[in-house]
Amino acid sequence: MMAWVILFHVVGMVFWIGGLLVATAMLGQHALESSPEAGAALGLAEMRMLRGIANPGAVITIVTGVLLVSPQPAYYLHATWFQAKAILVLCLIVLHAITYRRTSRFVRRQLWVPRKNWMILHGAISLVFLGILVAVLPGRLYWK
């Protein structure tokens, strides 16, 4: 049973991170677009990516993460690698919320965000994801 939970945790993370990274890359291109028709099409695709891929991926990842921790909460809450991962996951949740909120306003033309800012957000998401991987993979072995 736990193997299935781990599988869905990893699949959810792939969808979550993938959706955020694709959406922010598209938003960077959208910021350069001068055609209203192309901008509208990109906006639709960006919101679909967030609502259809990143949001469900985040929910799956968080729910399965709780399921993975719940049998031994004392172990996980005292493990340094897990504390680092939890902090980075909270950072990722904040970055996701920022991305979603800015995208919603950007697509409705209530907010202008330059390409540079989308690329900074893209890089921040990538770095947080890399940090999560380091905390879990080698961190689990070396940071008791």
> What's the DSSP call for residue 110?
S
pLDDT band for position 142 (50/70/90)? confident
CA distances to 39, 119, 125, 135 from 28, in Å: 11, 6, 14, 29
> Comparing C-alpha atoms, which of 38, 25, 37, 27 is closest to residue 112?
27
Contacts of 135 (CB under 8 A, 6+ apart): 81, 82, 84, 85, 88, 143
Contact 53, 93 (CB under 8 A): no
pLDDT of 1: 86
27 has pLDDT over 80? yes
Question: How much is the pTM?
Answer: 0.94
Question: Where are the chain's structural domains?
Answer: 2-142
- In the chain, pLDDT over 90 holds for what percent of residues? 92
CA distances to 58, 93, 100, 103, 117 from 7, in Å: 14, 21, 26, 30, 33
Contact 56, 106 (CB under 8 A): no
What Rg do the C-alpha atoms of the chain give, in angstroms? Answer: 17
CA distances to 50, 124, 130 from 44, in Å: 10, 24, 29
